[in-house]
Amino acid sequence: MTSHEPASPSLLGRLTGRSRPVRTSRDVVVLHDVSKRYPNGRLALRDVDLVVPEGDFVFLVGPSGAGKSTLMRLLIRDELATQGHVVVDGNDLAQLKRRAVPKVRRKIGIVFQDFKLLPRKTVWENVAFALEVTGTPRSRIRPAVDRVLALVGLTAQAEQVPNQLSGGEQQRTAIARALVHDPRIIIADEPTGNLDPVISWELIQLLLRINELGVTILMATHDAEVVTALRKRVVALEEGRIIRDELGATYHRED
Amino acid sequence: MTSHEPASPSLLGRLTGRSRPVRTSRDVVVLHDVSKRYPNGRLALRDVDLVVPEGDFVFLVGPSGAGKSTLMRLLIRDELATQGHVVVDGNDLAQLKRRAVPKVRRKIGIVFQDFKLLPRKTVWENVAFALEVTGTPRSRIRPAVDRVLALVGLTAQAEQVPNQLSGGEQQRTAIARALVHDPRIIIADEPTGNLDPVISWELIQLLLRINELGVTILMATHDAEVVTALRKRVVALEEGRIIRDELGATYHRED
Amino acid sequence: MLVFALFSIRRAWQGFWRNALMSLAATLTMVLMLTLLAGFFVLQNVLLASLSYVEQKVEVVAYIENTATQEQVDALVSQVQAMPEVASVEYVSRDQALANFRAQLQAQGRPDLTANLDQNPLYASINVKLHDPAQLNTVVSAIHDDPIVRSVINIQALVDRVLTFTGIVRTAGVVILGIVGVIVLFIIVNTIRLAVVARAEEIEIMRLVGASDAFIRWPFVFEGALVGLFGALITLGMLALAADPLSKAMVNFFNVLPIELGSVGRDTAALVLGTGLGVGVVGAWVSVRTYLIR
Amino acid sequence: MLVFALFSIRRAWQGFWRNALMSLAATLTMVLMLTLLAGFFVLQNVLLASLSYVEQKVEVVAYIENTATQEQVDALVSQVQAMPEVASVEYVSRDQALANFRAQLQAQGRPDLTANLDQNPLYASINVKLHDPAQLNTVVSAIHDDPIVRSVINIQALVDRVLTFTGIVRTAGVVILGIVGVIVLFIIVNTIRLAVVARAEEIEIMRLVGASDAFIRWPFVFEGALVGLFGALITLGMLALAADPLSKAMVNFFNVLPIELGSVGRDTAALVLGTGLGVGVVGAWVSVRTYLIR
Ligand SMILES: Nc1ncnc2c1ncn2[C@@H]1O[C@H](COP(=O)(O)OP(=O)(O)OP(=O)(O)O)[C@@H](O)[C@H]1O
Ligand SMILES: Nc1ncnc2c1ncn2[C@@H]1O[C@H](COP(=O)(O)OP(=O)(O)OP(=O)(O)O)[C@@H](O)[C@H]1O
Ligand SMILES: [Mg+2]
Ligand SMILES: [Mg+2]
C-alpha cells in the first residue's frame, strides 16, 4: 500500500510561490492549504491539501461531520474557502468572476446528500431541469433525459413526483440529474446511502464505466464494503483534516 | 434457520372471523392481508401479513421501491391501507376515530428516511418540538432533550439549524426526536443511511439496549453487515410482497 | 387547559417572530388594509351626515293670500303641525319676509332697491319642515287645498332630484364600502393563508409526531389573532395621531355643514379592531383546516 | 438569444400555472389593487375638473358710475382686456342688469317687484374672468383705481376661501392618491416576493447546477410581468364594463358641472397597464436579486 504522492508537485510548488495558480491540463481539482470556517465559528476543514488528476476515482471517507460535504461544497463554489486556494479545472474559485461561476459548475455533476429535488416536478422534469436552465436546446434534452433515466432504472417512475418515490428512487433521480449533462467531474455525496446492495453495486459499476471514459469521480461514502472491494484511491478526513491519502486502499486503515 | 411462525395464530384466526380485531397485549403490530395502492395506481404492498410481538426487533429489508417505507407509513396512519387490516397496539387504524389518531402516534417513535426536520429550528428545538406539541410540560422537556442529544452525540451541535449540519448529524437529530418521548414502538426507516460504520454501530447498540427494555423495534435498512451480524428477525419485501420472514437471519437469503 | 393556552400563545409568539418576514408582511398588509377600511368608513359617515343635512333643507313653502285672517293662518299652522309627517312649521309674516329679503340682498352685496317701493310686494308664507322628504306629496296636497293658500312653491322636481341624488350617493357609498371591505378581507385572508402554506411542513411534522388537532390549530389561530391585533393597534395609533389635525381641518372648511360625528371615533375603533382580529382568527382557522382534514 | 427568450417565456408560463395558488393570489391582489388605484385616479380627475369649474366661477365685478361715458367704459374694458391675468371681460349695461335681475327673480319664482320702480336702480358693471384666481389682487387693484369705477365687489374673502379650499382638496387628493399608490405598490411587490420566496429552493438548485444569472432571473421577471399583465387586463376589462353605466349615472346627476373628462379613459388604461407591468417586473427583479447575490 503506497501512500499517494501528489500527482504534480510542481504545481503545488508554483502555487506556494504565486498567489494565482496556473492552469494545468492534468489536475482537475487542486486544494492547497484550504481551511473552511463556517460563520457560526465551526472549523469544518483545516489545512487540506488535495490534488486530483484528471480521470481519477477518489473515495472520500471519514466519520459523520468530518467535513466531506463541506469539501464538495467548496468545489462547486457553494461556499468559499476561508483560507487557501481551491482550483477546479484551472480556475481559482476565489478569483473567479461571478459571471464565470456557472461555466465551472457545468463541468461538474453533483449528487447532493439531501438530493435537492424539486417537489413539484416529476422525475423526468427534475432531470431535464439541469439541462433546460443551462440553455440546452429542447431537441437534445429529450433523448438525453430518457437515456439517463434508463441508465439508473427509473423509466417506470418518470412521471412521479419526488414524494411519490421511495428513498432509493429519489437518490437515483439525483444521480441521473448529475449525469445528464455529461460532466467532466462527478461529485457524489453518499450516492448509495439509500440504496440496497444490488442497486448500489450497479451504480458503482456505472460510475466505474463513466470513469473509464476519462471522467474524474469524487465520491463520499460510508460504504466500507464498496470502498474495500474496489481498491481505489481513498482520502480519509477526520475533524476537517486529511489523515490518510492512499492508492488502492480499504475503508479502514490497515495497520 | 427456521421460518418465522406468526406469534399468535389465534389472533389471525379471530381477525378473519370478525371484521373488528380484538386487542391482545402480546402483538403490538398486526398487518392482516394488507394491500396498498397509491392514487396514481402503483401497487406498493400486496397481501402483506405481519405480526410483531411486543419487544421484538425486526429488520425490514428489500430492494429500493419494495414497499418498506410504505409499510411504515401505514403503521402511523400517514396512509391508509386500501385493503386489509392494520392493527397497532390493539387499534385497528382504519376504524380509528380522527381524534384518537394522535394517541396512537405518540406510542410510536419514527425516524423518517428523509429526516423531516424543520429548517428554521435548531437541533434542540427540533427534538423538543415532538414533546411540546404533544403537551409535555416544559419542566420535563429540557432534561429529556438534553439526555437524548447526549445519547446520539449531538450535544455540541444543539444550537445549529439543519442546514448547518452534516448529513449524519441530521440523521441523528431525526433519531433523537424519535426517541425523546419514550415510545413503545420505534420505527426507523434507514436510520444509518448517512452514518459512518462507527456511529452506525453505536446507534445499533443503542437500539438494542432500548429493545432490551421492552420497546418493539422495526427497522428498514440496506446495511447487510448490521443485519447479518445481529441475527435478529428479518422480514424481506420484494415488489410489495413479503418473500421471507425468518428469525436469526442474515441480510441475504441463505440457501 | 391553562398549560395548553400558554403553550399556544408562546408558540404563536415564537411563530410570529421566527417567520418575521411573513408576519411583518402580513401585519403591514393588515395595517394598510385597515387604514383603507377606516378611511372609507369615516368618509361614508361624513357623507351620510352631509346627506341628512341636505335633506333637512327640503321644506315646503306655502304663500298665503294677503286676505287671510290671523285666525285662518293659525288654524292652518296648527292643522299642518298635527300632520304626522311634519317636523316643524314656521309662519313668516309679510313684514318679516321683506326684512329677510333686504338682509339677503345686503349679504349678497347687491344694491337694495326695496327702499323705492311704496308697498310691500311680498306675501306671507308658512315654511314646513318634514321628517322625511319622501313624504312631500302628502303634505303639499294637504296644504294646497286650503283656501287661504295662494300657491305652494313647486319644488317637487328639485326635491325629487335631491332625493334621487342622495339615494344614489348613499347606495354608491355602501357599495364602495362593501367592495373595499371585500378587498380588505380577501387580501388579509390571502396573506395569512400564504403564511400558513409556507409552514405546511411544520404542520405535517406535528401531525406525524402525534400532536392533536387543537395543538396544531390554536397556535396558528393565535398567530393570526396576533397579526390582526398588531395590525389594528398600529392602524388605530396612526388614525389617532391623524384624527386631530384632520378634524380641525374639516371643521375649518366644512363649517357650513354642522355635521354630527360624535360616535364615529368609537365606531371606527370597533370596526378596525373587530375586522383585524376577526379576519386574523378566521383566516388562520380556515387556512389550517385544509391541512388537518387528512 | 431567441432560444433564451423562448425558454424564459415558456418557463415563466409553466411557473405561473405550476404554482397556481400563488399566481392566482398574486393576480387577484393585483386586480384588486389596480382597481383601487384606477378608482382613485378617476375620482381624482373628476375632483380636479370640478375644482377648475368652481375656480372658473371666480370673477371680479366692478360697478360703473352712472356718469361714465361710453368711451371711458370702452377704454377701461380694453385696458382690463390687455392685462395678462385676464381671461375675458364682459360689459353689462344698466338695462341689461335690470333684465338679468328680473329673469333671476322669475326663475326663483319670486314676485317681481321691479315693475313698481320709477327708475332703474341698478348700476352697469364689467365682469372680469381670470386665468388664475390667485391673481385676483392685481386685477382688483388695477380696476379699483379707475375713476369711473364706483366699487369693486369685495369677494376677496370668498375667493380666498374657495382657493384655500380647492387647494386643500387638491393636495388631499394627490396625497390620498399617493398613499393608495404606495399601498398598492407595497402589497403587490410583497405578494410577488412571497411567490419568489416560496421558490427559493428552485433558485438554489438552478444556481448549483450551473444556470447563469440571466437564466435564473428572466423566467421570474417574465412571470412577474405575466401577473402584472393579467392583473391589468382583468382590471381594465372590469373597468370597461363598469365605465358606461357609471359615466351615464354621472352625466345624469352631475350635469350641473360640465366636466371635461375626455382623456381620463386613456390615462387610466395607461396607468393601470403601466403600474401592473412595472410593479410585476420590478418586484420580481428585486425579489430574485436577493437570491442571486451569493
Ligand atoms: N452551514 C454550516 N454552518 C455551520 N456549521 C456547519 C455548516 N455546515 C456544516 N457544518 C458543520 O461542519 C462540520 C462538517 O460538516 P460536513 O457536512 O462537511 O460533514 P460530512 O463529513 O459531510 O458528514 P456526514 O458524513 O455526516 O455527511 C459538521 O460538524 C457540521 O456541523
Ligand atoms: N405517494 C406515492 N404515490 C405513488 N407512488 C408511490 C408513493 N410513494 C411511494 N410510491 C411508490 O411505491 C413504491 C414503494 O415505495 P417505498 O417508498 O415504500 O419503497 P422503499 O421500500 O421504502 O424503497 P427505498 O429503499 O428506496 O426507500 C415505489 O415504487 C414508489 O415509487
Ligand atoms: Mg455530508
Ligand atoms: Mg424507503
The alpha-carbon gap from D213 to the nearest alpha carbon of chain A, in Å, equals 8
The yes-or-no verdict on residue A136 having pLDDT over 50 is yes
- Which residue(s) pair with A30 in the sheet? A51, A87
- Site residues for ligand 2, CB cut-off 6 Å: A 157, 160, 163-169, 194; B 38, 40, 42, 44, 62, 64-70, 113
Q: What is the mean pLDDT of residues D16-29?
A: 79
Contact A48, A35 (CB under 8 A): yes
Report how far residue C294's alpha carbon sits from residue C290's, in angstroms, rounded to the nearest whole number. Answer: 8
Residues of chain B neighbouring C206 (CB-CB closer than 8 A): 129, 133
Cell numbers placing B54: 411486543
Q: How far is CA B64 from the centre of its chain?
A: 17
SS3 at position A107: coil
The yes-or-no verdict on residue B242 having pLDDT over 70 is yes
CA of A37 to the centre of ligand 1 (A): 11
Report how far residue A91's alpha carbon sits from residue A79's, in angstroms, rounded to the nearest whole number. Answer: 15
- Site residues for ligand 1, CB cut-off 6 Å: A 38, 40, 42, 44, 62, 64-70, 113; B 157, 160, 163-169, 194
Q: Note down the domain range covering C118.
A: 59-154
Low-confidence ranges of chain C (pLDDT < 70): 50-51, 53-59, 104-118, 133, 153-163, 165-166, 169, 249-263, 293-294
- Cβ <8 Å between D205 and A76: no
- Cβ <8 Å between C113 and D122: yes
- Cβ <8 Å between D190 and C29: yes
Do residue D175 and residue D267 come from a single domain? yes
- Cβ <8 Å between A102 and D211: yes
What's the DSSP call for residue D249? H
Confidence of residue B33 (pLDDT cuts 50, 70, 90): very high
Number of Cβ within 10 Å of residue C121's Cβ equals: 18
Question: Quick one: which of B5, B83, B82, B102 has its CA closest to B91?
Answer: B102
pLDDT at D180: 72
Do residue D140 and residue D186 come from a single domain? no
Q: Choose which residue among A48, A70, A251 to substitute to test ligand 1 binding: the one with the highest number of ligand atoms within 8 A of its C-beta.
A: A70
Q: CA separation (Å) from D82 to A57, A206, D136? A: 97, 97, 15
pLDDT at D4: 81
The alpha-carbon gap from D25 to the nearest alpha carbon of chain C, in Å, equals 7
Size of interface A-B (CB pairs under 8 A): 97
Atom of ligand 2 nearest to the CA of A166: 17
Is B189 an 8 Å CB contact of chain A?
Answer: yes
Q: D67-74, long-range: CB within 8 Å, 24+ apart, which pairs?
A: D67/D148, D68/D124, D68/D148, D72/D148, D73/D124, D73/D126, D73/D148
Residues of chain D neighbouring C21 (CB-CB closer than 8 A): 197
Q: Do chains B and C touch (3 or more CB pairs under 8 A)?
A: yes
Question: Which is more confident, B220 or B2?
Answer: B220
- Which residue(s) pair with B52 in the sheet? B29
Report how far residue A135's alpha carbon sits from residue D215's, in angstroms, rounded to the nearest whole number. Answer: 8
Do residue D44 and residue D180 come from a single domain? yes
Do residue C105 and residue C133 come from a single domain? yes
Q: What is the mean pLDDT of residues A164-174?
A: 91
- Cβ <8 Å between B120 and C212: no
% of chain A surpassing 90 pLDDT = 64
pLDDT at B123: 96
Contact A48, A56 (CB under 8 A): no
List the beta strands (DSSP E) in D67-202: 86-92, 124-130, 149-152
- Cβ <8 Å between B63 and A113: no
pLDDT at D135: 73
Atom of ligand 2 nearest to the CA of B237: 21
Q: For chain B, what is the mean pLDDT?
A: 86
CA of A45 to the centre of ligand 4 (A): 32
Report how far residue D169's alpha carbon sits from residue D163's, in angstroms, rounded to the nearest whole number. Answer: 10
Is C204 an 8 Å CB contact of chain B?
Answer: yes
**Range D3-39 burial, b when 16+ CB lie within 10 A, else e:** eeeebbbebbeebbebbeebbebbbbbbbbbbbbbbb
The nearest alpha carbon in chain A to D292 belongs to A98
pLDDT at A55: 92
Do residue D210 and residue D245 come from a single domain? yes
The yes-or-no verdict on residue B2 having pLDDT over 90 is no
Residues of chain A neighbouring B195 (CB-CB closer than 8 A): 64, 222
Residue D237 CB partners (closer than 8 Å, separation 6+): none
Q: For chain D, what is the mean pLDDT?
A: 78
Report how far residue C166's alpha carbon sits from residue C151's, in angstroms, rounded to the nearest whole number. Answer: 27
Report how far residue A145's alpha carbon sits from residue A128's, in angstroms, rounded to the nearest whole number. Answer: 6
**What is the residue whose three cell numbers read 492512499?**
A246
Q: What angle do CA C46, D35, C190 make, to 5 degrees?
A: 95
Question: Quick one: which of B177, B67, B61 has its CA closest to C208?
Answer: B177
CA of A171 to the centre of ligand 2 (A): 12
pTM for the full predicted model: 0.75
C113, C158, C160: which to substitute to probe chain D, counting the most D Cβ within 10 Å?
A: C113
The yes-or-no verdict on residue A27 having pLDDT over 80 is yes
Q: What is the mean pLDDT of residues B143-149?
A: 94
Report how far residue B69's alpha carbon sits from residue B115's, in angstroms, rounded to the nearest whole number. Answer: 13
Size of interface A-D (CB pairs under 8 A): 54
Confidence of residue B138 (pLDDT cuts 50, 70, 90): confident
Do residue C264 and residue C189 come from a single domain? yes
Do residue D182 and residue D261 come from a single domain? yes
Question: Quick one: which of B102, B41, B100 has its CA closest to C215?
Answer: B102
pLDDT at D154: 52
CA of A165 to the centre of ligand 2 (A): 5
Is D211 an 8 Å CB contact of chain A?
Answer: yes
Q: For chain A, what is the mean pLDDT?
A: 86
SS3 at position D263: coil
At which of D154, D187, D208 does a domain end?
D154
**Range D276-285 burial, b when 16+ CB lie within 10 A, else e:** bbbbbbbbbe
pLDDT 10s digits, A227-245:
999 999 999 999 999 999 9
- Cβ <8 Å between C180 and D28: no
- Which residue(s) pair with B237 in the sheet? B242
pLDDT at D240: 85
Residue B51 zone, left/alpha/beta (φ > 0; ψ -120 to 50; rest): beta
Confidence of residue D138 (pLDDT cuts 50, 70, 90): confident
The shortest CB-CB distance from D210 to any of A98, A105, A116 is to A105
The yes-or-no verdict on residue B95 having pLDDT over 60 is yes
The DSSP code sequence of C97-138 is HHHHHHHHHHHTT----GGG-SS--PPEEEEEEES-GGGHHH
**What is the residue whose three cell numbers read 368652481?**
D54
Residues of chain A neighbouring B167 (CB-CB closer than 8 A): 64, 69, 113-114, 189-190, 193
Residues of chain B neighbouring A193 (CB-CB closer than 8 A): 167, 190, 193-194
Question: Quick one: which of D41, D5, D4 has its CA closest to D263?
Answer: D41
pLDDT 10s digits, A82-135:
999 999 999 999 999 888 999 999 999 999 988 999 988 999 999 999 998 888
Question: Quick one: which of C239, C209, C183 has its CA closest to C38?
Answer: C239
pLDDT at D182: 79
Do residue D147 and residue D191 come from a single domain? no
Residue A218 CB partners (closer than 8 Å, separation 6+): A29, A52, A58, A60, A72, A75, A185, A186, A187, A188
Dihedral pair phi/psi, residue A160, rounded to 5°: -90, 150
| Ligand with smallest separation from the Cα of A168 | 2
Q: A134-141, long-range: CB within 8 Å, 24+ apart, which pairs?
A: A134/A102, A134/A106, A134/A181, A134/D209, A134/D210, A134/D211, A134/D212, A134/D215, A135/D3, A135/D4, A135/D7, A135/D212, A135/D215, A136/A181, A137/D3
The alpha-carbon gap from C19 to the nearest alpha carbon of chain B, in Å, equals 9
B133, B138, B173, B177: which to substitute to probe chain C, counting the most C Cβ within 10 Å?
A: B133
The DSSP code sequence of chain B is -PBPPPS-HHHHHHHHHSSSPPP-SSEEEEEEEEEEE-TTS-EEEEEEEEEEETT-EEEEE-STTSSHHHHHHHHTTSS--SEEEEEETTEETTT--GGGHHHHHHTEEEE-TT----TTS-HHHHHHHHHHTTT--HHHHHHHHHHHHHHHT-GGGTT--GGGS-HHHHHHHHHHHHHTT--SEEEEESTTTTS-HHHHHHHHHHHHHHHHTT-EEEEE---HHHHHHH--EEEEEETTEEEEEETT--SS---
pLDDT at B80: 93
At which of D103, D130, D154 does a domain end?
D154
Do residue D46 and residue D92 come from a single domain? no
Residue D175 CB partners (closer than 8 Å, separation 6+): none
Chains adjacent to A (≥3 CB pairs closer than 8 angstroms) = B, D
CA of B208 to the centre of ligand 1 (A): 28
Atom of ligand 2 nearest to the CA of B71: 18
C7, C206, C208: which to substitute to probe chain B, counting the most B Cβ within 10 Å?
A: C208
Q: What is the mean pLDDT of residues A151-158?
A: 92
Helix C156-197 crosses helix C264-292 at what angle (to 10 degrees)?
40
Do residue C140 and residue C75 come from a single domain? yes
Dihedral pair phi/psi, residue C129, rounded to 5°: -100, 145
Residues of chain C neighbouring D198 (CB-CB closer than 8 A): 194, 197-198
pLDDT at A49: 95
The shortest CB-CB distance from C208 to any of B76, B99, B135 is to B76
Do residue C168 and residue C238 come from a single domain? yes
The yes-or-no verdict on residue B36 having pLDDT over 50 is yes
What is the residue with the minimal CA distance to atom 2 of ligand 2? A164
The yes-or-no verdict on residue D252 having pLDDT over 90 is no
The nearest alpha carbon in chain C to D195 belongs to C194
Report how far residue C76's alpha carbon sits from residue B242's, in angstroms, rounded to the nearest whole number. Answer: 106
Report how far residue B144's alpha carbon sits from residue A221's, in angstroms, rounded to the nearest whole number. Answer: 32
Question: Quick one: which of A175, A147, A170 has its CA closest to A160?
Answer: A170
What is the residue with the minimal CA distance to atom 31 of ligand 2? A165
pLDDT at D131: 76
Q: What is the CATH number of the domain that holds C80?
A: 3.30.70.3040
Confidence of residue B3 (pLDDT cuts 50, 70, 90): very low
The yes-or-no verdict on residue D284 having pLDDT over 70 is yes
CA of B65 to the centre of ligand 2 (A): 5
Question: Quick one: which of D26, D51, D24, D55 has its CA closest to D158?
Answer: D55
Report how far residue D41's alpha carbon sits from residue D28's, in angstroms, rounded to the nearest whole number. Answer: 20
The yes-or-no verdict on residue D47 having pLDDT over 50 is yes
CA of B67 to the centre of ligand 2 (A): 6
pLDDT at D78: 85
The shortest CB-CB distance from D111 to any of C109, C122, C249 is to C122
Confidence of residue B4 (pLDDT cuts 50, 70, 90): very low
The rounded radius of gyration (Å) of the Cα atoms in chain B is 18
Do residue D185 and residue D205 come from a single domain? yes
Is D206 an 8 Å CB contact of chain A?
Answer: yes
Number of Cβ within 10 Å of residue C257's Cβ equals: 13
Taking any CB pair shorter than 8 Å as contact, residues of chain B touching chain C are 76, 78, 98-99, 101-106, 108, 110, 112, 116, 118-120, 129-130, 132-135, 137, 177
Residue D262 CB partners (closer than 8 Å, separation 6+): none
pLDDT at D1: 72
pLDDT 10s digits, D74-120:
888 888 888 887 888 888 888 888 888 777 666 655 666 666 666 77
Q: How many domains does chain C have?
A: 2
Report how far residue A110's alpha carbon sits from residue D278's, in angstroms, rounded to the nearest whole number. Answer: 38
At which of C131, C154, C177 does a domain end?
C154
Question: Which is more confident, B98 or A13?
Answer: B98
The shortest CB-CB distance from B62 to any of A170, A196, A224 is to A196
